[in-house]
Amino acid sequence: MADGYHPPLEEYLEAIYSLSEEGTSTIQARVAERLGHTPQTVSETVHRLIDEGYLTINQQKMIDFTPIGRKLSESIVRRHRLAERFIVEIVGLPWSQAHIEAGRWEHVISPEVEKRFVELLGNPTTCPHGNPIPGTPYSTTRQYPLSEIANSTEVVVKRITEQVEVSHEMLIYLELNGIMPGSHVQINAKTQDRTLMLEVLDPYKKEPVLIENRLADQIFCILPQ
């Protein structure tokens, strides 16, 4: 992996980075769930990455990066999120399709192309879903999960985590209902199972939108200024 181009292994580093970013336990079972791979395949690949000096694992089975592993994972995620921005803003593909397409691009973007992306996009700090681009001065402080917002409170959607991005169907649902970074929404009710009934504060969107609590945990918001 000296040249940083080995898609299957880079996929694992990216998944572990995203789990860590979300505050999810970076154990092999969570990696298997995120990638949709068998536990045996994940175990073999994780140990290969350990042997190659990119990962460590402690007695509690928590996976972490070595310095070289963190540097490479940040580079992969940076290319992926820049590619997402390019795909949406320059190529013009739908917001919900960016994650899938960027997964193909991230492995072949050279440093020269990456630099050009940054110039064309005007030094972005987030991907289209609001997640920070490594190496930029972006902070996720003072953001709150939608599930923790009180009824009748207006908030602005800022970030939708990678856990949601891996579900194309879920991204389509959010896009069709206008729940994207920059959207102003209000929680009007919560059911007994903690499903949220939202109103997107747009004159053309009057129908309530239902968001399961598990999804609401992965949508981060701020209070409007």
The predicted pLDDT at position 225 comes to 72
Nearest to 14 by CA among 106, 82, 124, 105: 106
Give per-residue pLDDT as tens, 141-168: 789 999 999 999 999 999 999 989 989 9
Q: In what order do the strands lie in the sheet containing 209-211? A: 144-145, 219-222, 154-160, 184-190, 196-200, 209-211
Specify the domain boundaries for CATH 1.10.10.10 within the chain. 7-69
CATH code matching the domain that covers 7-69, chosen among 3.60.10.10, 3.10.20.740, 3.40.190.10, 1.10.10.10? 1.10.10.10
3-state helix, strand, coil in the chain (%, to 5): 45, 15, 35
Closest CA to 49 of 33, 34, 36, 31: 31
> 144-222 sits in which CATH class?
mainly beta
Q: What are phi and psi of 212, to 5 degrees?
A: -60, 150
The C-alpha atoms of residue 181 and residue 179 are separated, in whole angstroms, by: 7
| CB-based burial, 198-223: b 16+ in 10 Å, e otherwise | bbbeeeebeeebebeeebbbbbbbee
Predicted confidence at residue 4, as pLDDT, reads: 46
Q: Which two tokens stand for residue 93?
A: 């593909």
Residue 204's pLDDT is: 62
Give me the pLDDT at residue 3, please: 46
Low-confidence residues of the chain, pLDDT below 70?
Answer: 1-6, 203-206
User: For residues 117 and 133, is the Cβ–Cβ distance under 8 A?
Assistant: no
Residues 6 or more apart whose CB falls under 8 angstroms from that of 131 comprise: 21, 81, 159, 160, 161, 162, 165
Helices 168-176, 98-105: axis angle to 10 degrees equals 140
> Given this model, what pLDDT does residue 6 score?
66
Instruction: Measure the CA angle with vertex 44, ends 41 and 45; round to 5°.
Output: 85
Distance in angstroms (rounded) separating the CA atoms of residues 204 and 65: 46
pLDDT of residue 205: 65
Cα–Cα distance, 91 to 95 (Å, whole number): 11
pLDDT score recorded for residue 160: 95
Ranges for all domains in the chain classified under CATH 2.30.30.90: 144-222
